[in-house]
Chain A
Amino acid sequence: AQTVTQSQPEMSVQEAETVTLSCTYDTSESDYYLFWYKQPPSRQMILVIRQEAYKQQNATENRFSVNFQKAAKSFSLKISDSQLGDAAMYFCAYRTPGVYGGSQGNLIFGKGTKLSVKP
């Protein structure tokens, strides 16, 4: 079964600095999707960034980028120029192929990393 591991329960970063959140996963599939979701205190789940496993290029979204190492099954999130509004829980997620394969999959989440941003 697929698993997602986030080994850092909590992280802290100074405002304007860069921080990297770690995520590893286990799968026997070759084609899949990976996601990072942000959950602020409101508990809304907000998509930050996604990566398609067949793409070698690392995904970027403004200040957010990933370091996707397929062979190592690693998917870390880098936040540059950290802002106070970045403080939240961050969840790494893997999309399963689903029972019927293709697009049927659901998300498996890691336990999350709580990010604090110091002014």
Chain B
Amino acid sequence: EPEVTQTPSHQVTQMGQEVILRCVPISNHLYFYWYRQILGQKVEFLVSFYNNEISEKSEIFDDQFSVERPDGSNFTLKIRSTKLEDSAMYFCASRATGGGGYTFGSGTRLTVV
């Protein structure tokens, strides 16, 4: 069964450093998403991406965040200057057209120290 692949599975970074989280969505999917889940809390929407541009973003997705689809297969989330409160599990998801379910990757656990 097709999978969404996320790397790395766990990243530790120092406060103020830049991090890039990587995702390979399912190849025939057209909609891409990033969500985050702070430990013990609910999953929160960050951003959606369609047709090579951001289609929607939440208030969490401020100027410190950016997304790219540099080569038609990878989908990246960059955090420019990490803060302690960015520590969370970050999930990438992709979806085909219509009412299909979202397929989530296994997540990247980001720890900012």
Contacts and interface: CB of A to CB of B under 8 A. Distances in A.
Say whether chain B's binding surface is mostly helix, strand, loop, or mixed: strand
Interface residues of B, number: 27
A108 B45 CA distance: 7
Nearest to A6: B42
- Name the interface size band of chain A: 20 to 34
B107 A103 contact: no
A106 B101 contact: no
B107 A111 contact: no
Contact of B98 (A44, A45, A91, A103): A103
Interface of A: 33, 35, 37, 42-47, 50, 52, 91, 93, 98-100, 103-104, 106-112
15 contacts: A33-B99, A45-B43, A45-B104, A47-B101, A47-B104, A50-B101, A99-B56, A100-B55, A104-B48, A104-B56, A107-B35, A107-B43, A109-B43, A109-B44, A110-B42
